Amino acid sequence: MKSLTRKLMSVIIAASFCFGLASCSGKTTSVSSAASETTTAAETKASESSSAAESKAEVKTVTAGKLIMATNATFPPYEFHEGDKIVGIDAEIAKAIADKLGLELVIEDVAFDSIIAGVQAGKYDIGCAGMTVTEDRLKSVNFSTSYATGIQSIIVKEGSEIKTIDDLIKGKYKVGVQSGTTGDIYMSDAENGGVGEDRIDRYNNGNDAVVALMSGKVDAVCIDNEPAKSYVAANKSLVILDTPFTEEKYAIAVNKDNEALLNAINKALEELTADGTIAKIIEKYIPSK
């Protein structure tokens, strides 16, 4: 009996010891698994942060930490002055892009026809001014994917003999344009539907062209439709011809040597389009209703 008891006790002790080991082993495995998951999550997050940091580090700008944008702030609703601040569609889209890239947006208000040259010379990071992609401009800079559509319209005085685009082209009327804009490019090209160089008067900005129209120095003004609507709303004696002169796509100019910045901008535009940010910005300035 004593011998049996000892054997039984040995079995019980051995069983208890094995059970204890199993329990401890199970607990250790659970903790190890949790620790592994935590480590993996931390590593993934660190990898993502590192990847984002590397992506930002690849983007070189004229001034570290800043995205310098050249524009001509006489082009409502795309860019215009509101007190001391430059606001508008382009200003807000550029700000959203800069935020995506972890950069501070700096806007420089310059003459429109100096924007491309400034970007090409490395004075500015981007040109964003309701700018259309043309073959001539592509010789000097690269362009991002398009973010908006523009229409070239014709403004005339109310009661003008110019009722259609054909009237304007076939007559001997003078046309005011903003120097260097697509309105200037298209209108000065007589072989492709414009009035020709000898019938063009160039001005530093759209407002000056409209003032020239109102004072009788020119018979019409060719300018983008949205600014045209703003000028007509402010001057009741002006009207816009029903038929648009031409349609075009707006994009952002980038230095040809900065492909990393161009790619980053295109990626940002893709994301801002997908999440509805760009549509929201355009709707804010050009309500659909």
88-102 confidence digits (pLDDT tens)? 999 999 999 999 999
Tens of pLDDT, residues 145-183:
999 988 899 999 999 999 999 999 999 999 999 998 989
Checking if the pLDDT of 72 tops 50, the result is yes
Query: Which pLDDT does position 49 carry in this prediction?
Result: 41
The letter for the amino acid at 151 is I
Domains 66-147+251-285 and 151-248 share a fold: yes
What is the residue-averaged pLDDT of the chain?
A: 84
Per-residue pLDDT, averaged over 126-138, amounts to 94
- Confidence at residue 39, expressed as pLDDT on a 0 to 100 scale: 45
Band the pLDDT of 7: cuts 50, 70, 90.
very low
Sorting pLDDT into bands at 50, 70 and 90, what band is 8?
A: very low
pTM score, two decimals? 0.68
Q: List, as one string, the DSSP characters of 206-220.
A: HHHHHHHHHTTS-SE
pLDDT recorded at residue 31:
37
CATH class of 66-147+251-285: alpha beta
Q: What tens digit of pLDDT does each residue of 267-278 get?
A: 999 999 999 999
Buried b (16+ CB within 10 A) or exposed e, 91-108: bbbbbbbbebbebebbbb
Q: What is the pLDDT of residue 289?
A: 62
**Residue 119 contacts residue 231 (beta carbons within 8 Å):** no
Position with higher pLDDT, 134 vs 86? 86
Confidence of residue 246 (pLDDT cuts 50, 70, 90): confident
Q: Using N-to-C axis directions, what is the helix angle for 277-285 and 89-100, rounded to 10°? A: 160
Check if the beta carbon of residue 71 is closer than 8 Å to that of residue 107: yes
Q: Are 126 and 254 in contact (CB under 8 A)?
A: yes
| CATH number corresponding to 151-248 | 3.40.190.10
pLDDT digits 0-9 by tens, 13-67: 344 433 343 333 343 333 344 444 444 444 544 444 444 444 455 799 999 999 9
Ordered by start, the domain boundaries in the chain are: 66-147+251-285, 151-248
| pLDDT for residue 245 | 85
Q: How far apart are CA 69 and CA 25, in angstroms?
A: 63
pLDDT at site 248: 86
Residue 21 is predicted with a pLDDT of 37
pLDDT higher than threshold 70 for residue 202: yes
Q: What is the pLDDT of residue 38?
A: 43
